[in-house]
């Protein structure tokens, strides 16, 4: 039969059980043993769930579970631990692991190490911990390797799994030179790395594994020519290391394209294709069927979005492969790991029933995989009821009046070139803004949010449950804003923010105030570490019925004579951090969002707000994986930002924010945004990202992050002062802003107080 398979499953649990347990462990509320037991129960539950859904024995993934990040797991697995962590006095390997992911600071014990760098995992909102390599890097398989341990754990439950491991080419490609190390070709480390993989393969074979899944997502990128020989060398050795172990090579997130030449003759037992992102790859591969004997794993169910699949189309794709190769050589799969989908729909009892009928989360996607597999094996008549139900849902969505808004469509068609240009060039604008704002040299600000304490979260829950009236909740928010403004004035910041205490999430909050959005109750997806986000769902044409932020920002401005900064999320980020409708081009949806944000920007200006920040951290994330597609995307992405931001006077200062980006890749687009001030993440990258802004190449003002807000450690004044002096090697001091590298929502007040006081002290030193 066409085998039902899966590439990976969400880790957090139906109710974010892992998040709660990990954070409880960090807070000293539970023991390591308790954390490990929670993790073990989650793995058992997820394996059993997949088996019950019909995923075949031997093709249920294991080792897809992680306490923080699978790439960090990989670095630990192969002993690629940066030297700065070698002498950290921690109680266990688990604590060392968390120190690498989030940093560790215990001043009373003399411990102060920063976290490793984070980057976005290809074009997703998931963050991975970047491996660090030296030219003489060594690798070694540690004792009791995690992939083997979790395979045996499942086997003891009577479940045969397929261990998931990041492939050697992708692992090296995703790394960076260690601190103080000059750039070098990471693939030169392949001969040193492969013995560790070979040892792992031998142990998996000894444990009884039949299949191993090697993820090589770099196959969807434009790769250097020498990768072809590297793939051949690496996979030849791995196949020889454990001949009985079948290798499934998994590529996803885009087309394999010309990289097929690098893998078609490899000694692998299976090749996975993402047929959601790259439907044409099926024809490309089948046209060369005489050149290979491996199985094909077909990613026909979207692992990254939440809409029900068109099962008839999915079955047709699989049938084409079966006709060419035979049913025994075809596997049915999601396009990528279901890590990027919420757990399941069972908790969605309050969502509009019409919209709910259009959705499939990870649990439901397992059922879709099973239905496609059974239809191919036994004929469509064997799943007639499921296919009829699916067809009915798809048609209901297509014709629904909820989706199409003629007013929005007409306004979109009326966009003109004049609507994407500021009135004057930057120098004239910045002079007008300085005359209005009277800011000192090295002006200080934050990126927007302040700590979302337990009290803030409880108040929000009380409003939802009806325990608070709207008036009681509004009074609570006013008090939080008052405290936040007083705190910022006491610390000495120059441009203030209201703190965003009324906002659950920088995308969800705006989505709740826009037409065309729907919301789940429990649709959480992991972003990094224990951090989960609940992306809203764009199901139809988007518009802004009423102002979203004006009243709270106006109120905050009445509490201070210092300039207040209005905080908005930009259209590209609203798109990328939502589950997006798939029935029209993403560009059109983005431009609809830009028009809605434009309305809010103009209302904030009319209310007297002098500074407006439109965050666009996801512009790099949305960049297509193939360079041939970059130009078109960057043009409409930049135009969308301009459309949202240009309807203001010269003396209204427009800020934007970006984080965890390879800025060199999008530098032209960053300049095209023409924001008056851009704040960027640069703390975890040792300022290497600033090379894109060197010299006269970036003419506008910039605030590189002075410290990492994703870590609980507080940097000293001396550390941040040194960082500012390094920044001045890249940029004009007259255009340098002083700020953290991101919003402070996830931090506590104690560390926020200490870090911001140090930050302001640095600005004062620089002025003197």
Looking at 29-103, list the stretches that DSSP marks H as alpha helix, in order from N- to C-terminal side: 32-53, 70-77, 93-102
The position carrying tokens 């512009």 is 619
Q: Decide the pairing of beta strands 565-569 and 176-177.
A: unpaired
Q: Decide the pairing of beta strands 246-250 and 295-301.
A: unpaired
- Residues 574/507, Cβ–Cβ less than 8 Å: yes
Name the DSSP class of 296. E
Q: Provide the token pair at 444.
A: 């200080």
710 catalytic residue (yes or no): yes
- Residues 403/397, Cβ–Cβ less than 8 Å: yes
The rounded distance, in Å, linking the Cα atoms of 510 and 607 is 19
The position carrying tokens 């049938």 is 319
Of 353, 347, 358, 407, residue with least CA distance to 545 = 407
Catalytic residue selected from 186, 655, 710, 721: 710
Q: If you write DSSP's letter for every residue of 408-460 in order, what string do you get?
A: HHHHHHT--GGGGS-SS-HHHHHHHHHHHH-PPSS-BB--SB----HHHHHHH
3-state SS, one letter per residue, for 500-553: CCCCCCCCHHHHHCCEEEECCCCCCEEEECCEEECCCEEEEEEECCCCCCHHHH
Please, what is the angle between helix 311-325 and helix 362-378, to 10°?
50
In this structure, what are the phi and psi dihedrals at residue 280, rounded to the nearest 5 degrees?
-65, -15
CB count, 10 Å around CB of 497?
26
Which active-site residues does the annotation give? 710
């Amino acid at each position: 039969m066409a085998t039902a398979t899966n590439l990976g499953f969400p880790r957090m649990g139906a109710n974010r059980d892992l998040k709660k347990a990990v954070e409880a462990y960090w807070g000293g509320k539970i023991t390591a043993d308790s954390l490990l037991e929670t993790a073990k129960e989650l793995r058992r539950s997820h394996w059993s769930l997949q088996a019950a859904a019909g995923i075949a024995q031997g093709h249920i993934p294991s080792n897809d579970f992680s306490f923080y990040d699978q790439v960090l797991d990989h670095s630990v697995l192969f002993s690629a631990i940066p030297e700065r962590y070698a002498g950290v006095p921690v109680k266990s390997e688990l604590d060392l692991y968390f120190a690498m992911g989030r940093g560790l600071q215990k001043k009373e014990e003399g411990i102060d190490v920063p976290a490793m760098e984070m980057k976005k995992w290809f074009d997703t909102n998931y963050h991975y911990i970047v491996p660090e390599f030296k030219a003489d890097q060594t690798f070694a398989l540690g004792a009791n390797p995690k992939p083997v341990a979790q395979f045996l754990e499942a086997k003891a439950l009577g479940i045969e799994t397929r261990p998931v491991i990041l492939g050697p080419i992708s692992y090296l490609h995703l790394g960076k030179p260690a601190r103080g190390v000059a750039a070098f070709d990471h693939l030169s480390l392949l001969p040193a790395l492969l013995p560790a993989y070979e040892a792992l393969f031998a142990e998996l074979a000894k444990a009884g594994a039949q299949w191993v899944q090697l993820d090589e997502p770099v196959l969807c990128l434009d790769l250097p020519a020498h990768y072809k020989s590297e793939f051949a060398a690496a996979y030849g050795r791995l196949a020889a290391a454990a001949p009985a172990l079948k290798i499934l090579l998994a590529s996803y997130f885009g087309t394999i394209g010309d990289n097929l030449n690098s893998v078609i003759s490899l000694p692998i037992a299976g090749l996975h294709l993402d047929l959601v992102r790259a439907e044409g790859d099926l024809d490309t591969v089948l046209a060369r069927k005489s050149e290979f004997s491996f199985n094909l794993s077909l990613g026909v169910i979207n692992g990254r979005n939440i809409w029900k699949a068109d099962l008839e189309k999915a079955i047709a794709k699989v049938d084409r492969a079966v006709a060419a190769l035979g049913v025994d050589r075809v596997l049915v799969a999601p396009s990528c790991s279901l890590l990027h989908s919420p757990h399941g729909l069972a908790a969605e009892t309050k969502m509009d029933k019409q919209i709910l009928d259009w959705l499939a989360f990870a649990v439901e996607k397992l059922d879709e995989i099973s239905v496609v597999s059974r239809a191919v094996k036994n004929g469509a008549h064997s799943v007639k009821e499921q296919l009829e139900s699916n067809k009915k849902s798809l048609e209901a969505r297509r014709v629904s009046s909820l989706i199409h808004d003629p007013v929005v469509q007409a306004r979109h068609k009326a966009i003109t070139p004049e609507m994407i240009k500021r009135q004057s060039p930057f120098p004239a604008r910045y002079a007008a803004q300085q005359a209005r704002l009277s800011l000192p040299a090295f002006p200080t600000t934050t990126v927007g949010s302040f700590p979302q304490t337990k009290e803030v979260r409880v108040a929000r829950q009380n409003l939802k449950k009806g325990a608070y009236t709207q008036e009681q909740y509004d009074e609570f928010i006013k008090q939080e804003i008052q405290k936040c403004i007083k705190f910022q004035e006491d610390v000495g910041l120059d441009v203030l923010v209201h703190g965003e205490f009324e906002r659950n999430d920088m995308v969800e909050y705006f989505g709740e105030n826009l037409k065309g959005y729907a919301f789940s109750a429990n649709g959480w997806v992991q972003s990094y570490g224990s951090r989960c986000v609940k992306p809203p769902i764009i199901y139809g044409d988007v518009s802004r019925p009423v102002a979203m932020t004006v009243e709270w920002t106006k109120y905050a401005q009445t509490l201070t004579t210092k300039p207040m900064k209005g905080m908005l999320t930009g259209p590209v980020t609203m798109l990328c951090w939502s589950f997006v409708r798939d029935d029209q081009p993403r560009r059109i949806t983005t431009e609809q969002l830009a028009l809605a944000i434009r309305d809010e920007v103009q209302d904030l200006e009319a209310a007297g707000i002098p500074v407006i920040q439109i965050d666009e951290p996801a512009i790099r994330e949305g960049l297509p994986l193939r360079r041939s597609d970059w130009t078109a995307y960057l043009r409409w992405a930049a135009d969308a930002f301009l459309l949202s931001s240009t309807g203001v006077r010269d003396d209204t200062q427009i800020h934007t924010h970006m984080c965890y980006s390879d800025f060199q890749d999008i530098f032209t687009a960053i300049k095209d945004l023409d924001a008056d001030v851009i704040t960027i993440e640069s703390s975890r990258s040792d300022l290497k990202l600033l090379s894109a802004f060197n010299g006269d190449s970036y003419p506008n003002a910039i605030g590189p992050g002075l410290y990492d807000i994703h870590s609980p450690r507080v940097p000293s004044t001396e550390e941040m002062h040194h960082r500012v002096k390094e920044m001045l090697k890249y940029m004009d001091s007259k255009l340098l802003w002083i700020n953290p590298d991101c919003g402070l929502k996830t931090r506590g007040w104690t560390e926020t107080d200490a870090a911001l006081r140090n930050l302001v002290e640095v600005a004062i030193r620089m002025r003197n």
